[in-house]
Amino acid sequence: MVHLKAGDHVVSVRKPYSWTNKLFTVFLPRFGIETTLVDGHEAQNYEKALRPSTKLLYLESPNSWTFEQQDIAAVVAIAQKHELVTVMDNSWAGPLYQNPLEMGVDLVAHSATKYMAGHSDTIAGVVCGRQAMIRKLFASEYMTLGGVISPFNAWLLLRGLRTLPVRMDYISRSTTKIIDFLEHHPKVERVYHPFARGYAQPELTQKQLRQGTGLFSIVVKAPDIPAVERFCDALQRFLLAVSWGAYESLIFPACTLYASEIYQSPDLPWNMVRVSIGLEDPDLLIADLEQALCQLP
Ligand SMILES: *Cc1c(COP(=O)(O)O)cnc(C)c1O
């Protein structure tokens, strides 16, 4: 909002985090700001969508649910050529596994609610950028509209940060093992994760990401939604809940979005299930997934 006014235009990757999508498609249009959502697989799609009124390019790499990446440096080059601001959501990789500021992005946002706090007990966010950019935010809309963390939540966040590297590394290694199991399972149609074997953009994973985190999606071979529900209910070591990136493993089936009033129609398959790997023993999680997958007809 600091960089936009009525009449301006934004180009964003399609399928960003649900509430970012709501901001672009519902809230900002009320104030005369339009957004074009583009397929981020090709950086040129950002350039093709530019208008004389375009002010800002928005990235989320990898994005939510399907973990598609944008070529960050290539999008930054387009922004620099046209003197546009770039903003990126880096929540999935976090600051340890990907550094968009070093690739030239102007403002990088993280949901600190996820790995940084890491214990499902704090809601917080971080925005990073060069000093002049941050001063500009602080001196303007931030004072009126910015979130303000409570001292207790800030303290919880500091505690979480102290163990961030070991938690991330453990979860990253567990996830590699679990994804390997799932990719070979006959009841799993597809695994969506930048480090999965079948991932569509391995060259961007190689170029941009240092390591993978514990959030991914699977498409299960189920005949109908009740079968997906039975699979989710059969899991003993995964809680059914929103959010991700904490100590406990979670699942979130896309079919729940179909029945929800607060989400917009999801552009996701009904048999997709999002999984967040926590700090449990990966062998226990694999055994649990195995018994629940075996219940699929
Ligand atoms: C959860 C999430 C957010 C929002 O974070 P909160 O801290 O819950 O407000 C933003 N972006 C992505 C990609 C997320 O998954």
Work out how many domains the chain is built from and give that number: 2
pLDDT of residue 147: 82
Residue 293, helix vs strand vs coil: helix
Is residue 260 assigned to a domain? yes
Cα of 17 vs centre of ligand 1, distance in Å, is 7
- Measured from the Cα of 112, ligand 1's closest atom is 7
89 lines ligand 1 (CB under 6 A): yes
Give kind and range of the element (H or E) at residue 233.
helix 225-234
pLDDT of residue 135: 95
111 lines ligand 1 (CB under 6 A): yes
125 lines ligand 1 (CB under 6 A): yes
For the domain that residue 193 is a member of, what is the CATH number? 3.90.1150.10
Torsion of CA 268, 114, 9, 130, to 10 degrees: -150
pLDDT of residue 144: 86
Rounded Cα gap, residues 105 and 129, in angstroms: 8
Domain of residue 263: give its range: 164-293
pLDDT of residue 264: 64
**Confidence category of residue 173, pLDDT binned at 50, 70, 90:** very high
pLDDT of residue 165: 98
215 and 146 belong to one structural domain: no
Final residue before a domain boundary, out of 134, 160, 186: 160
202 lines ligand 1 (CB under 6 A): no
Probe residue for ligand 1, chosen from 19, 67, 87, 275 as the CB with the greatest number of ligand atoms within 8 Å: 19
pTM assigned to the model: 0.96
First to last CA, the chain: 50
Residue 265 clears pLDDT 70, i.e. is over it: no
Residue 171 clears pLDDT 70, i.e. is over it: yes
- Measured from the Cα of 64, ligand 1's closest atom is 13
- Measured from the Cα of 63, ligand 1's closest atom is 13
**Confidence category of residue 208, pLDDT binned at 50, 70, 90:** very high
Instruction: For residues 86-104, give the mean pLDDT.
Output: 98
209 and 273 belong to one structural domain: yes
pLDDT tens per residue, range 217-262: 999 999 999 999 999 999 999 999 999 999 999 999 999 888 777 7
123 lines ligand 1 (CB under 6 A): yes
199 and 117 belong to one structural domain: no
247 lines ligand 1 (CB under 6 A): no
Probe residue for ligand 1, chosen from 114, 121, 252, 263 as the CB with the greatest number of ligand atoms within 8 Å: 114
135 and 234 belong to one structural domain: no
- Report the nearest-CA residue for atom 4 of ligand 1: 111
86 lines ligand 1 (CB under 6 A): no
142 and 39 belong to one structural domain: yes
Final residue before a domain boundary, out of 160, 179, 199: 160
For the domain that residue 100 is a member of, what is the CATH number? 3.40.640.10
Instruction: For residues 186-190, give the mean pLDDT.
Output: 97
- Measured from the Cα of 60, ligand 1's closest atom is 13
Q: Determine contact, residues 35/11, Cβ cutoff 8 Å.
A: yes
- Report the nearest-CA residue for atom 5 of ligand 1: 111
Final residue before a domain boundary, out of 160, 184, 217: 160
113 lines ligand 1 (CB under 6 A): yes
156 and 272 belong to one structural domain: no
127 and 250 belong to one structural domain: no
Cα of 31 vs centre of ligand 1, distance in Å, is 23
Alpha helices in the chain (DSSP H): 18-22, 28-30, 44-48, 72-82, 94-97, 131-138, 141-145, 151-162, 164-183, 202-208, 225-234, 255-258, 282-293
pLDDT tens per residue, range 4-56: 999 999 999 999 999 999 999 999 999 999 999 999 999 999 999 999 999 99
Cα of 185 vs centre of ligand 1, distance in Å, is 30
38 and 142 belong to one structural domain: yes
pLDDT tens per residue, range 62-92: 999 999 999 999 999 999 999 999 999 999 9
